[in-house]
Chain A
Amino acid sequence: MKTVQEKLAILADAAKYDASCASSGAKGTREGSKLGSTEGMGICHSYTPDGRCISLLKILLTNYCIYDCRYCVNRVSSDTPRARFTVDEVIQLTIQFYQRNYIEGLFLSSGIIQNTDYTMEQLNQVARRLRQEQHFGGYIHLKTIPGASEDLIAEAGRWADRLSVNIELPTAPDLVQLAPEKKREVIVETMETVKHRIDEVQSEKRAGFKPQRFAPAGQSTQMIVGATPTPDAEILKVASTLYSDQRLRRVYYSAYSPIPHADARLPAKSPPLVREHRLYQADWLMRFYGFKADEIVTADNQNLDLEIDPKLAWALKNRQLFPVDVNRAPRELLLRIPGVGTRSVERIIKIRRYHGLTVDDMKKIGLSWKKASPFVVTSDFNPSVKLLDSLLLKEKIQPKHRQLLLFDAKQSAETGEV
C-alpha cells in the first residue's frame, strides 16, 4: 500500500502535462463558504523552474487508464508506476494545502477507469464533498471526461468553477493516429454540452432568475503541439473555431514533451518551446488584437516564424500599411503596430486628446520603441521610408537576436529555454 505522499508524487507527476493552471474567472465566492474565496483574479502561489506557475493542486485521481493514447504517460501500455487516491485523500490534501495558502484550489483530472461515466462520477464526488461537507469556497477545475453523460456534466458544473475537455491534438487525423480510442466528435459534443449549459445559465440570469451556478469561469481546452507534423495554420484554425463556436475561455498549447516511459513510436526530443511561445502570441493576436487566423499564417506559409513574433512578421509582410500616424490612426490600426500592446494603445488614445505624441512620449508609454519605431509617425518623428522598404528591416529591428541566433537556437534546443 502506498502512502499518501508516494501517491502524490506519482499522481502529480502524471498530471503535469496539462498546461492549464489558471484560477481566474470565478465570480465571487460561493455563499456559505467557510474556507476559501474566489474573487475573479487568479493567484499564482509559486513557480517551478520550468517557468510554470503553481496556482492549483493539480493531480489525477488515478493514473490507471484503459486508453492507449501514445503521447500520454498514463496510457495503458506504459510501464509507469500506478496509484489511486481515495476521495478522502484528495479532499484532505486540498484542505491542508489550502489552509497554508499554498494553492488557490484543486485541478482534478483522472485516467479513465472502468468507463467514462464511472470516472466522471468519481471526480464529481470529490468536488461535491469539498463544497457540501467542507464548505470549500476555493477554486475547483474539473476535467470533463469526453462522452460522460449529461447529468454528470451538469453536476460537475454545479460544483466546479471551470470545466475543461481536452481536444488533445489539433486535427481529427492526428487523433486517429495517436489516440485511436478518442473520437473528435465525442470531444466536441461534450464541449457543446458544457457550452449549452453555460448559455442557459446566462440567459436565465439575464431574464432575472437566480439559476444554480454552472462553471462560472467557463471552459478551456488543451492541445498538444509537435507530436504530429500538423502545421501551425491548422492549429490556429482549430483554436479560432473553438473560440468562436464553443466560446472557450482559453486554448492551451502544450509543446509535446518527452515523457517517462514514452511510447517508442514518438520522437524523444526536446519540447518545441519556441513554437509553443509563438502559438500563444498568435492566440493573443486573435483574441485581443483583431487578427484572423489566416492573416497570421497563410496558405504558402503554414508555420509561424520562430525568429520573430507573429505581429512583426505580419507587419513586415504588409509594409504598405505603414508607417501609421499614432496621432491620427484608429484603434484597429494602432493594435497592429509591432511592439505596441493593448494597454499602450489605450494610453496613446487617451494622451493624444491633449497633445500630439512625441518619440519621448512613446518611450514612456511602456512599449517596445525599438520594434515600433520603423512603423510609426509621431509629431516629431518620421521613420525612414527607405528603412521600411528595406529588405533588411527584420535584421535591423532585431540585430542582437540575429547575431546571437546561432548560439541561441542551439542552446535553446538543448536547454529548452526560450
Chain B
Amino acid sequence: MSVVAVSDFASWRDEARALLAANQPPHEITFIDATAPQKQSLFVGSAVRIVNAPTTPRSTPRVPKDFLTLAEKVSCHRDEIRFELLYRALWRLTHGEPKLLEIETDDDVRRLYLMEKAVRRDAHKMKAFVRFRRVEQEGEEYFIAWHRPDHHTVKPTAPFFTRRFPSMRWSILTPDLCAHWDLEELTFTPGVTSDQAPQGDLLEDMWKTYYRAIFNPARIKLKAMVKEMPKRHWKTLPETRIIDDLLDEAPARVEEMVRRQTGLATSAADFIPADHDYESLRQAAMSCRGCPLYQDATQTIFGEGPINAKIMLVGEQPGDKEDLEGKPFVGPAGQILDQALSEAGIDRSQIYVTNTVKHFKFTKSSKIRQHSKPNVHEMTACKPWVQAEIALVKPEVMVCLGATASQTLIGRDFKITKQRGEFIATEYCDQTIATYHPSAILRMPTQEAREETMAALIQDLRKVVSVL
C-alpha cells in the first residue's frame, strides 16, 4: 500500500505518471490531500512516500487530451477523494477502456464530470461575485475584495481578473489563497481571515440604490434568485443586505402601482356610433363623455363643411365664441382664418373645417374664460372623432393648423417652426401640410410679427391650392 500526498494538478500528474509507470493499480494507493491540513495530520509520523518508486518509465502513457483538461479542473475540487478518482480513471483509460470518458453514465466518469461542473460553476461565481472595495494607500488607489470560494479556484481564475482589470491595482483575499495584481505581475500569498479586508466602500450605497430600483416588486421569484445566488455568498455581496426590506416593501409598492393610475379610462372610442355617416357622428359626438372636458363646456363643436370637400382644415379646439355658438372657427381666430383663406383664394364653403379636440377647455379668471391648452390625455381621448371625420371626408389635402393638430396627426416630434409649409404623407392623407394656427397671429407681440406670420399662413394655404 502506497500513500501519496499531492496538492494540485501538477503534483498529482507527476505522481500519477510515476505510479502508472510502476504499474501500481489504484486499489493499492491512497492519495492524501496536502491542501486539507487536518487530514494530513493523521499521517504525521508515518512517512509519506511512494513505495516501489519507479524505475525508468517504459513509455509515456497515452490518454485523451480531454482527460487532462478534466483532471486539471477536478484537481481544484475540495473533495479529498478527487485524486484517487482521477488515478482510477487514468488506470482504466490505460487498461483496456480508452473510450471511458464518453460513457458518462459510468459511476467514476459521472462523478468526475459532476466535480468538474462544480469547479466550473465555482470559478464562474468567483468572476461574478467578487466585489472590490476601493481604498487609498499613500495616494494610490487599490481595489480589494474578500471572497469565499467553494473550491480551489483562486489560482486558475485570477488571470481572468488581470485581463479584465489590467489598469487597477487589486487583491482578491480568500481563506485559502490571495491573488494580487500590481499592474505588472500576478502574485499569490497564503489565505487570510475576513478582517484583513476593507469593511466598506462609499459607492455601495449607490449600488444598493441601483439594486432596489431595478427590482420589479410585481414579480417575485425568490427560488430563481437563490438558485443562482446561493445564500452562502450573500455575506460578501453588499446588495443582499437590502433583500429583506425589498420583500417587505413589495406588496405595498405593487398596491401603490395598481392604485396610482394616470390618464383617462375612457375615450371617444367608447362613443363612436355604428353608422359612420356625418349626421350620426355629429349626433353621437354631442353626448361624448370620453374625457372630462364636457363637464364645463357648453357643447360639443363638431366639424363642418361638405363631406366631399377636397381640403380639410384641422385646428386645436373651439374657443369661447365657438363654444357658445356651436360652430368651429367663428371667433376672432376664425376671422383671421377667413381672411387668410380668401387671400389664398379658397372658398370656405367648399372646405371641411374641424378641431383636434371638440370641447372648449378654459380656466376662469374674473369674468373671461381663458383658453387653456388641451393635455395629452384629452388629445388622445378625443382623437377618434377627428379620425372618423378624416375617414368620412377623405380629403385630398389636409391642413393642420398649429402644434396640437400637427402633433396629433403628423407626429409627436413635429415642430411647426421648423417643418411648416412642407407636404408630408401621413397615414391619414398623402398630402398633409402644417402651418400656423390663426390664433398664433393674434398672440404675436408686434404688428410686424403679426404681418409676417399672416403672410406665412397665406403662403402655405396657396401651396394647398397649387396642388389641387
Interface residues of A (CB under 8 A from B): 4-5, 8-10, 12-13, 15-17, 29, 33-37, 39, 41, 43-54, 57-58, 66-68, 76-79, 93, 96-97, 99-102, 112, 114-116, 181, 255, 257-265, 268, 270-271, 273, 347, 350-351, 353-355, 357, 360-361, 364-365, 415-418
A47:B220 contact, CB within 8 angstroms:
no
A-B contacts besides A16-B215, A54-B214, A100-B133, 18 pairs, CB < 8 Å: A8-B213, A16-B214, A37-B164, A47-B228, A48-B215, A50-B216, A51-B223, A77-B377, A97-B207, A100-B131, A116-B413, A261-B261, A262-B257, A262-B261, A265-B267, A268-B257, A271-B218, A350-B104
Interface string of B380-395 (1 = CB under 8 A from A): 1000000000000000
Q: Report Cα–Cα, A46/B263, bound state, in Å.
A: 36
B145:A257 contact, CB within 8 angstroms:
no
23 A-B pairs whose Cβ atoms sit less than 8 Å apart in the complex = A9-B209, A34-B166, A35-B164, A39-B163, A44-B228, A45-B129, A46-B211, A47-B225, A48-B216, A49-B246, A50-B216, A51-B225, A58-B214, A97-B206, A99-B168, A100-B131, A100-B203, A101-B132, A101-B165, A265-B267, A351-B103, A351-B105, A417-B222
A79:B222 contact, CB within 8 angstroms:
no
Q: Report Cα–Cα, A20/B243, bound state, in Å.
A: 22
Which residues of chain B are near A48, meaning CB under 8 Å? 211, 214-216, 225, 246
Q: Is residue B186 contacting chain A, with contact meaning CB distance below 8 A?
A: no
B132:A57 contact, CB within 8 angstroms:
no
A268:B246 contact, CB within 8 angstroms:
no
- Of A48, A350, A353, chain B has the most CB atoms within 10 Å of the CB of A48
Which residues of chain B are near A260, meaning CB under 8 Å? 256-257, 260
Which residues of chain A are near B263, meaning CB under 8 Å? 77-78, 263-265
B413:A43 contact, CB within 8 angstroms:
no
CB contact between A66 and one of B105, B215, B228, B412 (< 8 Å): that residue: B412
CB contact between B413 and one of A8, A13, A17, A114 (< 8 Å): that residue: A114
CB contact between B265 and one of A100, A101, A264, A357 (< 8 Å): that residue: A264
B210:A12 contact, CB within 8 angstroms:
yes
If A66-B413, A264-B263, A265-B265 touch, does A45 touch B218 (CB 8 Å cutoff)? no
If A181-B411, A265-B264 touch, does A271 touch B219 (CB 8 Å cutoff)? yes
**What are the 8 tightest A-B residue pairs by CB atom distance, in nearest-first order?**
A51-B221, A51-B224, A12-B213, A264-B265, A48-B215, A77-B376, A361-B105, A50-B219
Which residues of chain A are near B224, meaning CB under 8 Å? 47, 51
B131:A101 contact, CB within 8 angstroms:
yes
Which residues of chain A are near B250, meaning CB under 8 Å? 49
- Of A41, A100, A357, chain B has the most CB atoms within 10 Å of the CB of A100
Q: Report Cα–Cα, A355/B106, bound state, in Å.
A: 11
Interface string of B60-84 (1 = CB under 8 A from A): 0000000000000000000000000
CB contact between A181 and one of B221, B256, B412 (< 8 Å): that residue: B412
Which residues of chain B are near A93, meaning CB under 8 Å? 206
Q: Is residue B425 contacting chain A, with contact meaning CB distance below 8 A?
A: no
Closest to A6 in B: B209
Q: In angstroms, how far is the closest chain A Cβ from the Cβ of B16?
A: 25
CB contact between A57 and one of B210, B247, B375 (< 8 Å): that residue: B210
If A51-B224, A261-B260 touch, does A37 touch B163 (CB 8 Å cutoff)? yes
Closest to A269 in B: B258
Which residues of chain B are near A52, meaning CB under 8 Å? 216, 219, 221
Q: Report Cα–Cα, A79/B124, bound state, in Å.
A: 42
Which residues of chain B are near A265, meaning CB under 8 Å? 263-265, 267
Q: In angstroms, how far is the closest chain B Cβ from the Cβ of A315?
A: 24
Q: In angstroms, how far is the closest chain B Cβ from the Cβ of A95?
A: 11
A347:B104 contact, CB within 8 angstroms:
yes
B257:A76 contact, CB within 8 angstroms:
no
Interface residues of B in 100-141 (CB under 8 A from A): 102-105, 110, 124, 127-134
Q: Report Cα–Cα, A262/B262, bound state, in Å.
A: 6
Which residues of chain B are near A47, meaning CB under 8 Å? 224-225, 228-229
A9:B212 contact, CB within 8 angstroms:
yes
Q: Report Cα–Cα, A43/B222, bound state, in Å.
A: 20
Interface string of B188-218 (1 = CB under 8 A from A): 0000000000000101011101111111111
Which residues of chain A are near B218, meaning CB under 8 Å? 50, 257-258, 270-271, 416
Q: Is residue B449 contacting chain A, with contact meaning CB distance below 8 A?
A: no
A258:B215 contact, CB within 8 angstroms:
no
Q: Is residue B254 contacting chain A, with contact meaning CB distance below 8 A?
A: yes
Q: Report Cα–Cα, A271/B168, bound state, in Å.
A: 43
Which residues of chain B are near A53, meaning CB under 8 Å? 228
Q: Is residue B371 contacting chain A, with contact meaning CB distance below 8 A?
A: no
Which residues of chain A are near B206, meaning CB under 8 Å? 4-5, 8, 93, 96-97
Q: Is residue B237 contacting chain A, with contact meaning CB distance below 8 A?
A: yes
- Of A54, A102, A112, A354, chain B has the most CB atoms within 10 Å of the CB of A102
Q: Is residue B143 contacting chain A, with contact meaning CB distance below 8 A?
A: yes
- Of B223, B247, B260, B267, chain A has the most CB atoms within 10 Å of the CB of B260
Which residues of chain B are near A258, meaning CB under 8 Å? 218, 254, 257-258
A99:B225 contact, CB within 8 angstroms:
no
Which residues of chain A are near B105, meaning CB under 8 Å? 347, 351, 357, 360-361, 364-365
Which residues of chain A are near B411, meaning CB under 8 Å? 181
Which residues of chain A are near B205, meaning CB under 8 Å? 5
Q: In angstroms, how far is the closest chain B Cβ from the Cβ of A175?
A: 12
Closest to A415 in B: B220
Q: In angstroms, how far is the closest chain A Cβ from the Cβ of B269?
A: 10
Q: Report Cα–Cα, A57/B206, bound state, in Å.
A: 12
B165:A76 contact, CB within 8 angstroms:
no
CB contact between A77 and one of B102, B209, B380 (< 8 Å): that residue: B380
Which residues of chain A are near B239, meaning CB under 8 Å? 46
Closest to A55 in B: B128
B124:A46 contact, CB within 8 angstroms:
no
Q: Is residue B39 contacting chain A, with contact meaning CB distance below 8 A?
A: no
Q: Is residue B167 contacting chain A, with contact meaning CB distance below 8 A?
A: yes
Q: In angstroms, how far is the closest chain A Cβ from the Cβ of B153?
A: 14
B216:A16 contact, CB within 8 angstroms:
yes
Q: Is residue B463 contacting chain A, with contact meaning CB distance below 8 A?
A: no
CB contact between A29 and one of B128, B163, B203, B265 (< 8 Å): that residue: B163
Q: In angstroms, how far is the closest chain A Cβ from the Cβ of B454?
A: 28
Q: Report Cα–Cα, A327/B363, bound state, in Å.
A: 82
Closest to B253 in A: A260
B219:A273 contact, CB within 8 angstroms:
yes
Q: Report Cα–Cα, A116/B209, bound state, in Å.
A: 30
Q: In angstroms, how far is the closest chain A Cβ from the Cβ of B427?
A: 8
